[in-house]
Structure 1
Amino acid sequence: MLSPTWTSSLEDAFLWIGGWRPSMAFHLLYSKSGLQFEARLQELVQGLRTHDLGDLSASQISQLDEMQKRVILEERQITDLMAGHQETVADASMVELSHVASEMIRANERGEVEESKEFEDKVESTLVQKEEGLEKILQKADELRLGTLKAIVNVLTPKQAIHFLIAAAELHLRLHEWGKKIDARKENHGTGEGKNYNSSI
């Protein structure tokens, strides 16, 4: 759910609740803007418009700055939700189920008791609630990712939006390729640290 089977170990390390961190979109935008600004500096000095991300107006920068602050705040709120939900794995109900399950295993080994269907149903019901909680948080994270992307594109001109989306796609693809190479190298060296891609085939 939170770690897609097709991602590399490197990508997994940078995941935020099942995907890219929304605030990263602004870092990408400003990084690409700086690179394009430097590349077209002479044209900009001459007063020529480049119409790329190096040509952001003061109004656009102001809007993006305010947007970034809001996104970071929402991001933190969702992160706190996830932290709180993760802590429920050690709540009273889970600890009790763990204790009962351990006692049943020991009793089974002694041949004193058989597995209880009622208990298994209770475990499944409890875990389903945990999973549903994760799904709700993942949905909030996905909504923030999509909303951030749309909001940034709305501030940019059509040409700037194209530059931004291409840069995002290129970064995603390069990170995926580099990560797969690292995983393959680790597998070839027998470290066993690379991600198992068989499950995604």
Structure 2
Amino acid sequence: MTTPENTYRHPFHSFFDCWLVELNNNLEKLVSAANHHHEDDDINDDPDSYSLIDKAVGHYEEYYKAKSDGANDVLSMFLPPWLTTLEDSFLWIGGWRPTTAVHLLYSKSGIQLEARLADLVPQLNCRDLGDLTSNQMKRIDELQKKTIGEERVISEKMARLQESAADTSMVDLSNMESEMIRKNEYHGRKDSDEKVESALNGKNDKLVEMLRMADGLRIETLKSVVEILTPLQAMYFLIAAAELHLRLHDWGMKKDAA
């Protein structure tokens, strides 16, 4: 999506563009490493593989830290101008729903398992996401249940915040302001503006709290999934995550341009 020179560009937008470029760089390195290690047994002893996984996860941590640092403009974080309308439609409190990481894992696991069966690939030569152990499946199921519970708590807090748009103080302020507009009274506007600003600042602080809670759960869930997986499986998961992120952005750009 091109931005006209005379159109305001949010400071986070430049960071996001650079972050996407680095995400694609990480993706290419992960694909190369995964292809190299697919039928090898040395990945658990390969420090470069662990370093690559840590770098990929750290890249997501960098994203959420930048969001937190820019949360003083929290309204932009809830409706990010750097995202496409397609991406906006999938947002949950300023980002992807944390359980999406688990759904992504299950989807990629199923795809790789189906590909293995279709190609009649011997199981001993495959250690990808189609080869999750029963213990891994149990831990993933427990993680999903835990994450759903934490999502519910945050969603309920967000619902209460949204409902507070019609609480007594807001209704009283809106009535007072409306009466002044009807009567063309301007002498009390400064006092009224200060009350409105104070009330909205309180809501703003709550929005910052909600955003940081949601982002915290997002990165915590991502890291928990990676910890459950073997190094090679973690690579395949991070590849799928990066591909989905990049392609959704590309598809959204095309739709917005059209």
Report the TM-score when normalising by structure 2: 0.68
Counterparts of 2:125 and 2:215 in 1: how far apart (Å)?
A: 35
Unaligned residue ranges in structure 2 (runs of 5+): 1-76
User: How far did residue 72 of structure 1 move?
Assistant: 0.6
Which residue in the other structure is 1:81 paired with? 157
Matched, 1:153 2:226: yes
Q: In structure 1, which of residues 47, 66, 70 is the aligned counterpart of residue 142 of structure 2? A: 66
Contact 1:49-1:55 within 8 A present in 2 as well: no
Q: In structure 2, which of residues 166, 178, 184 is the aligned counterpart of residue 102 of structure 1? A: 178
Matched, 1:123 2:199: no
Counterparts of 1:175 and 1:4 in 2: how far apart (Å)?
A: 15
Aligned-residue identity in percent: 57
Which residue in the other structure is 1:181 paired with? 254
TM-superposition CA deviations, 1:108-147 (whole Å, max 9, x none): 2xxx543521211111010000010111011110110010
Counterparts of 1:121 and 1:47 in 2: how far apart (Å)?
A: 68
Counterparts of 1:3 and 1:163 in 2: how far apart (Å)?
A: 30
Matched, 1:34 2:107: no
Q: In structure 2, which of residues 194, 208, 211 is the aligned counterpart of residue 135 of structure 1? A: 208
User: How far did residue 90 of structure 1 move?
Assistant: 0.2
More off after superposition, 112-121 vs 156-165 = 112-121
The size of the alignment, in residue pairs, is 180
Runs of 4+ in 1 over 3 A off after TM superposition: none
Contact 1:2-1:18 within 8 A present in 2 as well: yes
User: How far did residue 10 of structure 1 move?
Assistant: 1.0
TM-superposition CA deviations, 1:3-32 (whole Å, max 9, x none): 211111111111000000011111110110
Report the TM-score when normalising by structure 1: 0.86
Matched, 1:7 2:80: no
